[in-house]
Structure 1
Amino acid sequence: MNNLEALEVPNDGEISLCEVNGCMQTIKYNYLDANTCIDILKTFPTLHITRDMLHSVISKGEGKALFLPVNVSFLKQLTQIYYELGLIEALHIASAHSQILVSKTASVVLNILEYIKKIRTTFNPNVRHSMSNIIDQFSQTRKWQHNTIRCISWHPHVKKVAIVTCDDSVRIFSSDIGNDTISTVIRHRHQRNVTCIAWRYLSNSEIAVGHENGITIWNTDGNSLVSRPSISNALFRKTSEHKPVMSIAWSRKGDKLISCAACDNAILVWDVELNKTNSLKSPGSSGNILVKWSPTGEKLLSCSAGLIFRVWDCCTWQSEKWSLVAGRVQTACWLNDGATLIFATSTDSIIYSLTVKTDQVFTSNIEVSNQALPIFDTTVVDIDGVIVGGLIQCMDSDPSGKHLAVLFQNTNNIVIFSVTSHPEIKLIPSSLVMGLPKEKPSILSFLQHFEAGACLTVGWSSGRIQYYPIIYTDLSALSLMGDSYHTGNK
Structure 2
Amino acid sequence: MYPNRDRFIPQRMNGRTAYGPPVLNFQNRMLVERAVQRLSRLWLSFGQHFAFVRKVFELIFGRLRNWVHIRLGRVPPTVRDLAASIETCNWPTASIRYIACHPTGMERALLTSMDVALLYSDMRVPPQRLTSAKQRHVTCAAFRPWSSSELAVGGAGGICLWKPLPTTMMMPGPAMMKLTWYGYKPKDFIVDLQWLQTGTHLVSATLGNRRIQIWHPELKQLMQELNVPLPGTHCWVMRYQSDMLHLISFLKSDAPILRYRNSLKTWSNQLTKRMPIQTAAWTARGNHLMYVVKGSSKVYGSTSSMVMGPFRHPFMVWSSSEVIDLRSFYCNWQQHEGGLVQSMVMDPLNVYVAFMFKRRPFVLLCLLHIPFNCSLKLKPMQLIRSADGHPEAFPTCITFGFMDRVARHRDRSLVIGWSTGRLQIEELIAQTREEALLFEELEIRHPQQVFEIDLY
TM-score, shorter chain, exceeding 0.5: yes
Instruction: Answer whether contact 2:308 2:315 (CA < 8 A) is retained.
Output: no
Correspondence for 1:397: 346
- Cross-structure match for 1:146: 93
Q: How far is 1:122 from its partner?
A: 11
Deviation string for 1:309-368 (max 9, x for gaps)? xx862784873211223111111112222322111111321111122457789x999996
Cα distance in 1 between the residues matched to 2:93 and 2:110: 16
Question: Does the aligned pair in 2 maintain the 1:213–1:243 contact within 8 Å?
Answer: yes
Match 2:157 to one of 187, 195, 213: 213
Instruction: State the secondary structure of the residue aligned to 1:134.
Output: helix
Q: Write the distance in 2 (CA, Å) between the matches of 1:234 and 1:360.
A: 50
- Which of 303, 314, 320 pairs up with 1:355? 303
Q: Which residue is 2:223 aligned to?
A: 277
1:223-279 CA-partner distances (Å, limit 9, x unpaired): 55575845xx11111123672111111111111211111113332111122113201
Q: How many residues align?
A: 342
Deviations 1:1-58 (A, max 9, x none): xxxxxxxxxxxxxxxxxxxxxxxxxxxxxxxxxxxxxxxxxxxxxxxxxxxxxxxxxx
- Which residues in structure 2 correspond to 1:161-310 (within 5 Å)? 161-175=108-122, 179=124, 181-220=125-164, 229=176, 233-240=178-185, 243-274=188-219, 275-282=221-228, 288=234, 291-298=237-244
Structure-1 separation of matches of 2:327 and 2:314: 32
What is the RMSD computed on CA atoms of the aligned residues?
3.5
Alignment of 1:33-112 (within 5 A): none
Unmatched runs of 5 consecutive residues or more in structure 2:
1-67, 255-259, 432-442, 447-456
Partner-residue secondary structure (3-state), 2:318: coil
Match in the other structure for 2:84: 137
| Contact kept? 1:184, 1:229, Cα under 8 Å | no
Q: Is the 8 A contact 2:138 2:155 kept in 1?
A: yes
Counterpart contact for 1:267–1:280, Cα < 8 Å = yes
Q: Compared with structure 1, are the counterparts of its residues 458 and 315 closer, same or farther at alpha carbon in structure 2 (3 Å cutoff)? A: same
Question: Aligned pair in 2 of structure 1 residues 418, 452: CA closer, same or farther (>3 Å)?
Answer: farther
Are the structure 2 counterparts of residues 314 and 400 from structure 1 closer, same or farther at C-alpha, using a change threshold of 3 Å? farther
Confirm whether residue 157 of structure 1 aligns to residue 94 of structure 2. Answer: no
Q: Structure 1 residue 443 and structure 2 residue 412: aligned?
A: no
Amino acid at match of 1:201: P
Q: CA deviation at 1:487?
A: 4.9
Q: State the distance in 1 between where 2:316 and 2:235 align.
A: 28
Alignment pair present for 1:422 and 2:371:
yes
- The 8 Å contact of residues 147 and 442 in structure 1, kept in 2 or not, is answered as yes
Normalised to the residue count of structure 1, the TM-score between the two structures is 0.62
CA distance in 2, matches of 1:465, 1:325: 38
- Partner of residue 331, structure 1: 279
Say if 1:336 and 1:410 are closer, same or farther in 2 by CA, change over 3 A. same
User: Residue in 1 aligned with 2:383?
Assistant: 432
**Letter of the structure 1 residue corresponding to residue 363 of structure 2:** I
Asked if 1 retains the 8 angstrom alpha-carbon contact of 2:96 and 2:419, the reply is: yes
Alpha-carbon distance in structure 1 between the residues aligned to 2:312 and 2:76: 38
Question: Greater Rg, structure 1 or structure 2?
Answer: 2
Is the 8 Å Cα contact of residues 402 and 418 (structure 1) preserved in structure 2?
yes
What CA distance in whole angstroms lies between the structure 2 residues aligned with 1:365 and 1:138? Answer: 39
Amino acid of the residue matched to residue 160 of structure 2? T
Shift in CA distance, 353/199, structure 1 to aligned 2, threshold 3 Å: same
Q: Contact (CA 8 Å) 2:202, 2:214: kept in 1 or not? A: yes
Task: Find the aligned partners of 1:228 and 1:131 in 2 and give their Cα distance.
Answer: 36
Quick one: which of 72, 75, 81 aligns to 1:125? 72
What is the match of residue 293 of structure 2?
345
TM-score normalized with structure 2 length: 0.66
- Aligned in 2, Cα 1:124/1:439: closer, same or farther, shift over 3 Å? closer
- Paired AA for residue 253 in structure 1: T
Give the match's secondary structure for 1:194.
coil
Counterpart amino acid of residue 207 in structure 1:
L
Structure 1: any 5+ residue segments left out of the alignment?
1-120, 302-310, 474-485
Q: 1:142 to 1:287 in 2, by over 3 A?
A: closer
CA contact (8 A) 2:140 2:192 kept: yes
Deviates more, 1:259-268 or 1:133-142: 259-268
Equivalent residue for 2:36? none
Structure 1 residues 284 and 468 mapped into 2: Cα distance closer, same or farther (>3 Å)?
Answer: closer
The one of 471, 474, 477 equivalent to 2:429 is 471
Mark the CA change 1:224 to 1:385 in structure 2 (over 3 Å): closer, same or farther: farther
Secondary structure at the aligned position of 1:182 is classed as coil
Q: Is the 8 A contact 2:351 2:369 kept in 1?
A: yes
Amino acid at match of 1:369: V
Higher relative contact order (CA 8 A, sep 6+): 1
State whether residues 139 and 192 of structure 2, in contact with CA within 8 Å, keep that contact through their aligned partners in structure 1.
Answer: yes
Residue from 399, 412, 415 that aligns with 2:361: 412
What's the CA shift for 1:463?
A: 0.6
Contact 2:304–2:319 under 8 Å retained in 1: no
Percent identity between the aligned chains? 22
